[in-house]
Amino acid sequence: MAMEIENFKIRAIEALVDGATQWSFEDDVVTYADKSKAPTDAQIAAKSKELKDAWDAAQYQRDRAVEYPSIADQLDDLYHNGIDGWKKTIKVVKDKHPKA
């Protein structure tokens, strides 16, 4: 869990600072080469939450991706069962992992 929070914190900082601003992150401490360009802790926390919420909201997509048949199997399904048969196959996965 701590690693996950750190990943969102790092992504938040990357999103908040411009590409020219040099910074480093070690042992949960962020150091900026130019402190005047550093985002506040509140900005980092808000951006981290925004990124985590977006990640959590897309969980159904990650769950579906591992359960869909391979492209080759889907093409074979289309050939043998037509578009309606393929849709039935895909619908099983979509129903199992509904969009939030």
Residue linked to tokens 């042992």: 27
State the pLDDT at residue 100.
Answer: 74
State the pLDDT at residue 67.
Answer: 97
Residue linked to tokens 């996950």: 4
Residue 23: beta bridge partners? 32
Distance CA 94, CA 90 (A): 6
Check if the beta carbon of residue 47 is closer than 8 Å to that of residue 83.
Answer: no
Answer yes or no: do 27 and 53 share one domain.
Answer: yes
Mean pLDDT of 35-61: 92
Domains: count for the chain: 2
Answer yes or no: do 23 and 34 share one domain.
Answer: yes
Mean pLDDT of 59-76: 97
pTM equals 0.70
Show the domain range for 41: 2-57
Distance CA 10, CA 17 (A): 11
Answer yes or no: do 12 and 52 share one domain.
Answer: yes
Answer yes or no: do 52 and 11 share one domain.
Answer: yes
Answer yes or no: do 43 and 87 share one domain.
Answer: no
